[in-house]
Amino acid sequence: MRRWISWAFVSVTVGGLWAQFGGAGGQERPVAANAVGPVEISERVFTTVVGGRLQPAVAAEHAATVGGIVAEVRVSVGQRVEAGDVLYTVRRSDTAGEFAPVVVSARIAGSVASVAVRAGSEVRSGETGVTVIDTREYLMTALISDKDAFDVQVNRPVVGRSADGSAVPGTLVSRSLEPDYQTGLFTLTFRFPGTATTFPGQFLSVGLPVESVRGIFVSQRLLFRRYGRYYLWSVSQEQKLTAHEVTPGRAHGDDVQIVAGLEPGDRILLQRRGGEREGTPVAQSER
């Protein structure tokens, strides 16, 4: 028995597929005029990120000037002291007899970072008993590659970022003249003021500008791939969408530089809604 195919059914089916893929038989909803815009030249600053830990700019170790027995310790870790405050005393003994205790006083104002002596214990001359740090200012060192070392600017303000995202303003004060010859990395030194939120050992990351680039940048979300090549939707002279091949370059955050395929003034789709098709009309802007 012969089977007959309804040509009307085939015609309707083919017409529906043609409309689905953007052919003339479909009723395309126009792209809103405010969803497209002209390509413009803009500038982006590329940065490199380095990090390190804060250390007090001033730390004073207070060593015993004589050997003997620690008579008294007057401070504890974390205690605030002023210059001249007594830290500990040493009772020295000699065959000639007893001498008045030797007093070891703070040379700087700050906080006691460590106490290495205790009352009744022996201490040798030159042995550190108490360390005092000044937390009003911090230094931080970080390493940078030779690729970027000479692009950063010394004696310029910087902003450090802590783990919770807090901003700590500071200054890049120096770059080492020589690198570590094994790693090839240079040393950067930063200075940060002490604040209520900074503390010794705190880790900060710093973004340093190393290059300024002018060019055409678009959102990476506008790009799509076909057969290993990159495209975005542009607007033809007939005011319709067309897949336009481009060559992307370096990324900058959510944007990417387009190094070939676009010229200033070209109109492209700036807001993808998904499902865009070749030949979709673009609505005329209202005046």
User: Quick one: 111 and 177 in the same domain?
Assistant: no
Please report, in tens digits, the pLDDT of each residue of the chain (287 residues total). Answer: 444 434 333 333 333 333 333 444 445 678 777 788 888 998 888 889 999 999 999 999 999 999 999 999 999 999 999 999 999 999 986 655 667 889 999 999 999 999 999 999 999 999 999 999 999 999 999 999 999 999 999 999 999 999 999 999 999 999 999 999 999 999 999 999 999 899 999 999 999 998 888 999 998 998 988 899 999 888 888 888 889 999 999 888 888 899 998 899 998 888 887 778 888 888 876 55
Residue that terminates a domain, selected from 135, 159, 190: 135
Boundaries of domain holding 149: 47-56+136-212
Where does the chain have alpha helices with state H? 7-20
List Cβ neighbours of 132 (8 Å cut-off, separation of 6 or more). Answer: 59, 60, 62, 81, 87, 106, 107, 108, 110, 111, 112, 113
Last residue of a domain, one of 87, 113, 135: 135
In a domain, 173, yes or no: yes
Residue 25's pLDDT is 41
d(CA 24, CA 15): 9
Whether 179 and 52 share a structural domain: yes
Are 139 and 191 in contact by the 8 Å Cβ rule? The answer is: yes
CATH number where 82 lies: 2.40.50.100
Q: Are residues 100 and 194 part of one domain?
A: no
Domain boundary residue among 135, 159, 193? Answer: 135
83 and 175 share one domain: no
pLDDT score at 282: 83
